[in-house]
Amino acid sequence: MRFFFFDLLVLAATVGAQRISDAERPELNRDLALWQQRFGSDDDVRLAMAPVKPYRDVLLGRIRAAKAMLPSLQEANPHATFSHLTKFALLTDEEFARFAMVGGARPQRLSSAAGTNHTVVGGPLLRSIDWTKQSVCVPPVKTMGKCRSHWAIAAAAAVSAAHCLATGDAIDLSVQQVLSCTTPGGASSCRGGFATTGMEWLVTMPNHVCSRLDIPYTSGETGSSSICSDYSKCAGSISLQAGTVVEANGDNALVEQLQKQPVVAYVTTTNTSWRLYAGGILSWCPAEYPDQAVLVVGYGTEDTGNGAPPVDFFKVRSVWGTNWGEAGDIRLARGSGVGHHGTCEVTTHLSYPTLKLPVTAAIAASSLTPTIDARNVDSADTDASDETT
């Protein structure tokens, strides 16, 4: 099935290179006008399409090629929706990959022995959880722009959320500070990095971290990063409550840790499934190595209707702005049917800062109302130690 799927995508790309007929031109012109109205002024789009010759027939051919891919994508992902008019629809997969992660550092897969697939103790797991709706602790969706700072965005968001869940104090840590202070600076700083490095820097400097307002994100516009600046002006403004950084892997580990906090993961994004994703639950990606750090902000189950089994999913926050996917988020299928590494490799490399205050404080800081999943016999953690995982 997968070889057939790739054959269809290649065929669709070939269709895009053919001459535009008079019969199809009016509809394609309407589609192009609608796409330009939605995304023509978007900074990400202008950056990604900079090498593309803006000849009308070239753009029309790309819309046609994207439209030809939709049936195959829908067949492979029956619970997702796709569109030929998404933010990145007019890019080829190769152009999209260059925009998203060329030169980006990629984490090594963790062995199963390295994971922290511990059993959560104290009560049943929640049926669903969404930290973006059930607390104020998750920073808003960001866009990385010209700088491949996905790892710094994910790191700052994870530590911001951990601090808030431990204290009730919502913060939005500076992505620019993480980027500048964990890399040498300059253009090389925008070629990628590791979220664990960013989180470790933050938690070792608890009284010197700055907010987004103190040090705004500028690398998205410049494509480079300044050398770590004097952060004495931020000294004491935030007393960061986040502990050591833990690495894990596996579906169970991710579900269990999401009981307490959002978790950093790496996913495979540079493919047609993500490029044309418009909503719903993605259940298939090409078997490629993960290329981008993201923040997993929850999980749940969706009833598909018509007597079909419900579909479990993870909710993931992107770094492409709110005009991509589901307001900047994507849902990835989870469970035993998606393979050992999860959909788009989402469970291969997980990391998070431990909550430095008792978990009871994290629960009090959110408006979370537990919903018990009777199908799951594992239990939720109520450990009230000084530092929990």
Burial class (CB in 10 A: 0-12, 13-18, 19+), 168: middle
Tell me the C-alpha distance between 337 and 318, whole Å.
Answer: 24
Residue 107: predicted pLDDT: 58
User: What pLDDT, in 10s, does the model give residues 234-267?
Assistant: 877 888 999 999 999 999 999 999 999 999 999 9
Tell me the C-alpha distance between 61 and 184, whole Å.
Answer: 42
In the predicted structure, residue 7 carries a pLDDT above the cut 70? no
Residue 367: predicted pLDDT: 47
Tell me the C-alpha distance between 58 and 90, whole Å.
Answer: 9
In the predicted structure, residue 118 carries a pLDDT above the cut 60? no
3-state secondary structure 74-112: HHHCCCEEECCCCCCCCCCHHHHHHHHHCCCCCCCCCCH
β-bridge pairing 292-302 and 277-282: unpaired
- Judge contact between 171 and 238, C-beta under 8 A: yes
Question: What are the distances in angstroms from CA 256 to CA 90, 129, 161, 200?
Answer: 39, 11, 17, 22
Side chain identity, residue 217: Y
The pair of structure tokens assigned to 208 is: 């010197």
Average pLDDT over residues 48-59: 83
User: What pLDDT, in 10s, does the model give residues 137-177?
Assistant: 999 999 999 899 999 999 999 999 999 999 999 999 999 99
User: What pLDDT, in 10s, does the model give residues 303-339?
Assistant: 987 778 899 999 999 999 999 999 999 999 998 778 7
Residue 30: predicted pLDDT: 97
Which pLDDT band, with edges at 50, 70 and 90, does 382 fall under?
A: very low
Burial 323-333 (b: 16+ CB within 10 A, else e): bbbbebbbbbb
Please name the helix (run of DSSP H) or strand (run of DSSP E) that holds residue 299, with its range, or none.
Answer: strand 292-302
Q: Please, how many CA atoms are within 13 Å of residue 68, restricted to the half-sphere of its CB? A: 21
Tell me the C-alpha distance between 353 and 195, whole Å.
Answer: 11
Tell me the C-alpha distance between 124 and 2, whole Å.
Answer: 37
pTM as predicted: 0.85
Tell me the C-alpha distance between 3 and 136, whole Å.
Answer: 44
Q: Please, how many CA atoms are within 13 Å of residue 126, restricted to the half-sphere of its CB? A: 22
Question: What are the distances in angstroms from CA 218 to CA 2, 47, 224, 314, 316?
Answer: 41, 15, 8, 30, 24
The pair of structure tokens assigned to 89 is: 């629809």
307 Cβ contact list (under 8 Å, min separation 6): none
Conformational region of residue 330, where left means phi above 0, alpha means psi within -120 to 50, and beta covers everything else: beta
